[in-house]
Amino acid sequence: MLLDGKRILLIIGGGIAAYKALDLIRRLREAGARVRPVLTAGGAEFITPLSAAALAEDHCYTDLFSLKDEAEMGHIRLSREADLVLVAPATADLMAKMAHGHANDLASTVLLATDKPVLVAPSMNSFMWQHPATRRNLATLERDGIGMVAPGVGDLACGETGAGRLAEVADIVAAVARRLGTAAPGLAPAAGASGPLAGRRVLVTAGPTHEPIDPVRYLANRSSGKQGFALAGALARVGAEVVLVAGPCALATPAGVTRVDVETAREMLSACRDALPVDAAICVAAVADWRVAETGAQKLKKDATGGAPPALALTENPDILATLAQLETGRPALVVGFAAETDRVLDHARAKRARKRCDWIVANDVSAATGIMGGDDTAVTVITDAGEDALPAGSKVAVAEALAARIAAALTPTPETTA
């Protein structure tokens, strides 16, 4: 079975979606997992400890200060005796506690004490989901290596419509299998990942490149890789098989993503060619335009007499975006480039799209005053044949989700195209 023998610690947050946790327990057990539930005070307003315990065939833990539970199964042991900690539903409050390291109840204490992979399935009102505070907390959790099963879009219990409803139980089970397949030795990734991009393969480039001058120095730029990593993670969450070709950057690999580390532009191009064929190529990396024509075999030294510094002869690097966009055979169905500009942003982005012959350009202003280069927030405009669309400014994680949804829509056939 998919999760045979795997131990899942299920933390059930408050909110009407807590009732789905009962079905989730049943489905996880059908997949072979052992489930141990932890019910928050909010969750207990919607379901009972008895119902969770009965379906799990295990004790349901609720109280950090229970003398009986702490004596039999202390919260530290509870946090460690699992292969994965799953939070479903994850409320805005519970995610805020996780992001800020609070530990004032059993659930938050277990989450702070665990050394196991953590996966969250958010559920909340759409305005709460889009609130800047929630987006900041989500970005923090993703940087901390916590995986997410993205919420769905539709009618919400509050009567509104939008993003924020708990992902389908089957999707959560599949995400658990993928997360364990990545983290647990000997367990293959789950086949048939669900989501609109299931069965699609996507290449993402991210980060800077380092072009050596000598064994010590290099040419580079200020790219942190955050946007590319966030986009790779968002695409994986909607079902894509993602290959992330990353320049030098100290970021955790998103859950469910295959990462290939490179240093130079030429290495990045080679890795991109190796990743083909793909359905889409998303070139987020800030590739150095030039490299030193002749790399010094030894460290270049200053002239002791105070003479002129050595002259560096530069040569142009390969153009990865243009190469992928202009492939005569095996061109991805969708090629997306990014244009990081400091002046006349849209003019330069339009010209870049025409010159590279890519399908979309995602333009942003990275001048020093914006704080976007290396920061956590961004604002982008998507330029396509259909026109130009400025996305709402927000965290790079939020923008990545919006872009992933657009990419999924572009790659998913409509009934008209399949008729």
Single pTM value for the model? 0.60
Say if residues 226 and 396 touch (Cβ distance below 8 Å). yes
CA distance 156 to 208: 41
Say if residues 293 and 301 touch (Cβ distance below 8 Å). no
Positions marked active-site: 158
In the chain, where the domains are located: 7-183, 201-293+308-418
pLDDT of residue 185: 32
Same CATH topology for 7-183 and 201-293+308-418: the answer is yes
Q: Enumerate residue ranges in the chain where pLDDT < 50.
A: 182-193, 415-419
pLDDT of residue 413: 66
pLDDT of residue 387: 93
For tokens 């009965």, the residue is 54
CA distance 29 to 32: 5
pLDDT of residue 153: 65
pLDDT of residue 174: 79
pLDDT of residue 74: 63
Q: Which residues make up each annotated binding site for CTP?
A: 289, 299, 318-321, 338, 352, 356
pLDDT of residue 118: 93
pLDDT of residue 68: 60
Parallel/antiparallel/unpaired status of strands 334-341 and 360-365: parallel
Say if residues 197 and 235 touch (Cβ distance below 8 Å). yes
Nearest alpha-carbon partner for 413 in 232, 199, 193: 199
**CATH H-level superfamily of 7-183:** Flavin prenyltransferase-like (3.40.50.1950)
3-state secondary structure the chain: CCCCCCEEEEEECCCHHHHHHHHHHHHHHHCCCEEEEEECCCHHHCCCHHHHHHHHCCCCECCCCCHHHHHHCCHHHHHHCCCEEEEEEECHHHHHHHHHCCCCCHHHHHHHHCCCCEEEEECCCHHHHHCHHHHHHHHHHHHCCCEECCCEEEECCCCCEEEEECCCHHHHHHHHHHHHHHHCCCCCCCCCCCCCCCCCEEEEEECECCEECCCCCEECCCCCCHHHHHHHHHHHHCCCEEEEEECCCCCCCCCCEEEEECCCHHHHHHHHHHHCCCCEEEECCECCCEEECCCCCCCCCCCCCCCCCCCCCEEECCCHHHHHHCCCCCCCCEEEEEEEECCCHHHHHHHHHHHHCCCEEEEEECCHHHCCCCCCEECEEEEECCEEEECCCEEHHHHHHHHHHHHHHHHCCCHHHHC
Tokens coding 161: 């419509």
End-to-end alpha carbon distance in the chain: 37
CA 322, 325, 328, 332 torsion: positive or negative?
positive
CA distance 126 to 107: 24
Burial class, 77, CB count within 10 angstroms (exposed 0-12 / middle 13-18 / buried 19+): exposed
Q: What CATH number belongs to 201-293+308-418?
A: 3.40.50.10300
Q: Which residues make up each annotated binding site?
A: 289, 299, 318-321, 338, 352, 356
